[in-house]
Amino acid sequence: MQTKIGRGLALAALAASIAGFAPRAVADDETSRVKGETIADSATVTATVEAVDLDKRIVTLKGENGEISDLKVGKEVRNLAQVKKGDQVVATYHEAIAYEVFKPGTAMPGANEAMVAERAKHGEKPAAGVAQVDSVTATITAIDKEKSKVTLKGPEGHSVTVKVKDPKKLEGVSVGDLVQLTYTQALAISVKPAAAK
């Protein structure tokens, strides 16, 4: 079972391979924090409801590419009876990873996670949204500029060595600095009525 810290260090490896750890812009207090950057991506998919089986709680959807698929809908989804043939199901997925580098003494190693979920009120078309944020702050214990590698030590003492994609981003980063990585995932699903004919 992967711990929060293990996931956090895995995020560090992901962030390093995508963007590295160097500053893109300097914060107001140049001595304590170096502002990092955020890499984000979103995708939206729309499908049309072809059929709804309320007894079996199965919604048949036709995707933008014409493919037909059945979706089993759990009992936690309210108001399934509101969904009708021709309605549009819109799903948007968002993923982002952000980092900041802090000078020693201005941040503490640690990890946390948070999840938020919401669903439609009674009587409304089904809709739901969920977001999860994982954050870890790790200490830079070694920097190999020739090989463009950084070793990070998590709050539980586990270490990982990561390759930084852009070696220029190691400028201004020192052993002892702390890297705070925040990974966010969000999914929103909504049902819109069929267009009037």
Number of domain units in the chain: 1
For residue 111, the model assigns a pLDDT of 85
First to last CA, the chain: 53
For residue 18, the model assigns a pLDDT of 39
Identify whether 116 is part of a domain.
Answer: yes
Rg for the chain, CA atoms, rounded? 22
Identify whether 78 is part of a domain.
Answer: no
Structure tokens that stand for 104 in this block? 């020693």
For residue 47, the model assigns a pLDDT of 93
Identify whether 182 is part of a domain.
Answer: yes
Cα angle 12, 158, 184 (rounded to 5 degrees) comes to 30
Within 8 A by CB and 6+ apart from 197, the residues are none
Identify whether 197 is part of a domain.
Answer: no
For residue 15, the model assigns a pLDDT of 44
For tokens 């590419």, the residue is 65
Identify whether 81 is part of a domain.
Answer: no
For residue 60, the model assigns a pLDDT of 94
DSSP characters over the chain: ---HHHHHHHHHHHHHHHT-SS-SEE-SSTTTEEE--EEEEEEEEEEEEEEEETTTTEEEEEETTS-EEEEE--TTS--GGG--TT-EEEEEEEEEEEEEEE-TTSS--EEEEEEEEEEPPTTSPPEEEEEEEEEEEEEEEEEETTTTEEEEE-TTS-EEEEE-S-GGGGTT--TT-EEEEEEEEEEEEEEEPPPP-
Within 8 A by CB and 6+ apart from 177, the residues are 34, 101, 102, 103, 104, 139, 140
Q: How far apart are CA 99 and CA 48, in angstroms?
A: 38
Identify whether 125 is part of a domain.
Answer: yes
Domain enclosing residue 150, as ranges: 4-40+95-192
For residue 106, the model assigns a pLDDT of 84
For residue 110, the model assigns a pLDDT of 86
Identify whether 49 is part of a domain.
Answer: no
Structure tokens that stand for 162 in this block? 């990561």
Counting beta carbons within 10 angstroms of the beta carbon of residue 101, is it exposed (0 to 12), middle (13 to 18) or buried (19 or more)? buried
Structure tokens that stand for 94 in this block? 């968002």
Identify whether 87 is part of a domain.
Answer: no
The percent of residues in the chain predicted with pLDDT above 90, rounded, is 24
Q: pLDDT below 50 — which residues of the chain? A: 1-9, 11-31
